[in-house]
């Protein structure tokens, strides 16, 4: 099964039973309209529904068809950017709030699973943070002290991570972490939402919004939703043109899933301290023939979106790294990628949109922790809409200034400027359409313009403007996912130019009268 989010199939996509949802077919009125049916959107809808609010959900694709279906679904309070850095950038109180909120997110998922009887393989298990071979453990000592100051008193030393026979050396153990099947969890949330009166619509693109005392969302089906408040839960906000996108940067991350005999690898979460780091977990699977086995999910090899197109090499490096540590690994069954939004200061942006009316809310900046950040988003935004005070609001406030992360902020925005200027002035990837293999794409120059050309399996070219519809950077071909990716702010389009990830919210422009393959440009 492929998805609008990319060509590859994740383990979750291959094993999920998602409810079928219909497109919006009439105008609707609700207390709240939520755009995006990933974990952030559905958690918000579920919690609001439990409070008696009427909610309408608009999803461009299928349930969970954005980055939620491409996660590895770690549920952890061991934050990606480490507590040493969170404390440096947000102070001791900010670090405590980060620890508390991620811990509460795991607890809330566990409680919802129990209350709603959701069959999603939720389980508690330990997590282990270790250094690569030959590197000193001082970074772990500092992180242990920072984690304790943040209130995670149960984090302690282990002599080694349970990765026999590979010896990691001394490492940190984070107890009571969690994992689950994300799409099965969303399916359970969807059933509970509809039971509580919420309405979910798939295949419905939110074209534009009119905001004021009420919000009117016009959709591609020709119908509209009017609500008192709107929540933008689209991974990267589609309502904001500039402000939020200077504060975060898109990164591609890669995953392999390899079979292993059931019980041959310890069930735990694993992370190392490399940059980019590796992250691992197991998932139980039963084959159609009735064979029970584990799938070892190994992720990493991140890079800035659009700045590399070498997925085969990155997947191969993940496999080699894992086989050295897990000799019972069998064949690699799954290879996929995802995209994470990295905030400049290590913490997600959750709350009221920085500009415009107070009834527009956003969830973005997942920083590789989308399952817990998305759940935090649902909890916090529900509080804001209900008018409740939240001790988390200031840390996650989208309007906050990242004063203690100026270098990261400057670096990422210089990178955007370099792409904008350099790509427009460059020659293009190829000089003619005939050099593009069937099933692949490339950008070529035609006069002063850049054209994104996809040749389908029959060799027919499909020509699009290579100019991203967000802020005018040039897209690049992603041969793994068969998408056009913008390296500036992470907008993504399928091979035919249909937008699948914000901040862009409209398709690439079609180049009229494409020339036949074989004609020299």
What class has domain 405-521?
A: mainly beta
The whole-number average pLDDT for the span 407-415 is 62
The whole-number average pLDDT for the span 66-89 is 96
Q: Is the pLDDT at 518 greater than 50, yes or no?
A: no
pLDDT tens for each residue of 215-273: 999 999 999 999 999 999 999 999 887 888 889 999 999 999 999 999 999 999 999 99
Q: What is the pLDDT of residue 1?
A: 35
pLDDT tens for each residue of 434-453: 999 999 999 999 888 999 99
Question: Do the beta carbons of residue 225 and residue 72 sit within 8 Å?
Answer: no
* 53 CA to centre of own chain: 27
Domain at 78-96+120-178+247-343: CATH architecture: 2-Layer Sandwich (3.30)
Integer Rg of the chain from CA: 23
Q: What percent of the chain has pLDDT over 90?
A: 85
pLDDT tens for each residue of 97-132: 999 999 999 999 999 999 999 999 999 999 999 999
DSSP-based three-state secondary structure for 497: coil
DSSP-based three-state secondary structure for 175: strand
pLDDT tens for each residue of 329-369: 999 999 999 999 999 999 999 999 998 889 999 999 998 99
Q: pTM of the prediction?
A: 0.94
Under the banding of pLDDT at 50, 70 and 90, the label for residue 521 is: very low
Under the banding of pLDDT at 50, 70 and 90, the label for residue 39 is: very high
Question: Do the beta carbons of residue 101 and residue 392 sit within 8 Å?
Answer: yes
The whole-number average pLDDT for the span 456-475 is 95
List, as one string, the DSSP characters of 313-369.
Answer: HHHHHHHHHHHHH-TT---EEEEEEEEEEEETTSS-EEEE-SSS-TTEEEEE--TT-
Domain 22-71+183-229+346-398 in CATH 3.50.50.60? The answer is: yes
* Nearest-10 Cα torsion for 194, 198, 203, 207: 180
Question: Do the beta carbons of residue 119 and residue 188 sit within 8 Å?
Answer: yes
Question: Do the beta carbons of residue 234 and residue 505 sit within 8 Å?
Answer: no
Query: Sign of dihedral through CA atoms 49, 68, 20, 188?
Result: negative
Which residue from 360, 297, 369, 384 is spatially nearest to 103, judged by alpha carbons?
A: 369
Question: Do the beta carbons of residue 79 and residue 86 sit within 8 Å?
Answer: yes
The half-sphere exposure of 45 on its side-chain side, counting CA atoms within 13 A, is 33
Task: Cite the beta strand spans of 98-247 per DSSP E.
Answer: 123-130, 156-158, 171-179, 199-201, 206-211, 215-219, 224-232
pLDDT tens for each residue of 188-230: 999 999 999 999 999 999 999 999 999 999 999 999 999 999 9
pLDDT tens for each residue of 382-403: 999 999 999 999 999 999 987 6
Q: Where exactly are the structural domains of the chain? A: 22-71+183-229+346-398, 78-96+120-178+247-343, 405-521
The sheet with strand 492-494 has its strands ordered as 476-478, 483-485, 492-494, 499-501
List, as one string, the DSSP characters of 5-38.
Answer: TBSS--HHHHH--PPP-PPP-S-EEEEEEEE--S
Q: What is the pLDDT of residue 190?
A: 98
The whole-number average pLDDT for the span 479-490 is 96
């Amino acid at each position: 099964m492929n998805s609008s989010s990319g060509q590859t199939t994740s383990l979750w996509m291959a094993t999920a039973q998602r409810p079928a949802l219909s497109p919006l077919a009439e105008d609707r009125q609700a207390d709240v309209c939520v755009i995006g049916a990933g974990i952030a959107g559905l958690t918000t809808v579920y919690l609001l529904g439990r409070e008696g609010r009427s909610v309408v959900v608009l999803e461009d694709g299928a349930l969970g068809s954005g980055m939620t279906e491409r996660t590895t679904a770690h549920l952890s309070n061991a934050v990606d950017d480490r507590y040493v850095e969170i404390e440096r950038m947000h102070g001791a109180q900010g670090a405590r709030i980060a620890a508390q909120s991620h811990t509460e997110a795991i607890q809330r998922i566990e409680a919802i699973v129990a209350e709603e009887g959701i069959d999603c393989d939720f389980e508690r298990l330990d997590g282990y943070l270790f250094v690569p071979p030959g590197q000193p453990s001082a970074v772990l000592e500092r992180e242990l002290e920072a984690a304790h100051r943040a209130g995670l008193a149960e984090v302690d030393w282990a002599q080694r991570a349970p990765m026999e026979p590979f010896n990691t050396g001394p490492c940190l153990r984070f107890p009571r972490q969690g994992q689950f099947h994300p799409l099965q969890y969303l399916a359970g949330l969807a059933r509970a939402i509809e039971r509580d009166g919420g309405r979910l619509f798939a295949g419905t693109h939110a074209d534009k919004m009119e905001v004021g005392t009420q919000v009117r969302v016009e959709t591609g089906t020709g119908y509209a939703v009017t609500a008192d408040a709107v929540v933008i839960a689209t991974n990267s906000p589609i309502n904001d043109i500039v402000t939020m996108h200077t504060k975060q940067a898109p990164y591609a991350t890669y995953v392999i899933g390899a079979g292993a005999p059931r019980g041959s690898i310890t069930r735990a979460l694993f992370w190392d301290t490399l940059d980019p780091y590796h992250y691992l977990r197991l998932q139980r699977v039963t084959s159609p023939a009735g064979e029970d086995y584990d799938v070892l999910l190994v992720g990493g090899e991140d890079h800035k979106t659009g700045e590399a197109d070498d997925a085969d090499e990155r997947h191969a490096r993940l496999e080699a790294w894992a086989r050295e540590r897990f000799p019972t690994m069998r064949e690699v069954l799954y290879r996929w990628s995802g995209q994470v939004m990295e905030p400049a200061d290590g913490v997600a942006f959750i709350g009221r949109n920085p500009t415009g009316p107070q009834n527009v809310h956003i969830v973005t900046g997942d920083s590789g922790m989308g399952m817990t950040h998305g759940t935090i988003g649902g909890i916090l935004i529900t509080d804001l809409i209900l008018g409740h005070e939240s001790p988390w609001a200031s840390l996650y406030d989208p309007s906050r200034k990242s004063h203690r992360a100026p270098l990261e902020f400057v670096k990422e925005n210089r990178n955007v400027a370099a792409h904008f200027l350099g790509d427009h002035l460059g020659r293009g990837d190829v000089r003619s359409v005939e050099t593009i293999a069937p099933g692949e794409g490339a950008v070529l120059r035609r006069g002063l313009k850049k054209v994104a050309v996809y040749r389908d399996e029959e060799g027919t070219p499909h020509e699009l403007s290579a100019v991203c519809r967000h802020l005018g950077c040039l897209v690049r071909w992603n041969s793994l996912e068969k998408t056009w990716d913008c390296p500036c702010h992470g907008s993504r389009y399928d091979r035919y130019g249909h937008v699948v990830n914000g901040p862009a919210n409209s398709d690439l422009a079609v180049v009229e009268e494409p020339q036949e393959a074989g004609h020299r440009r």
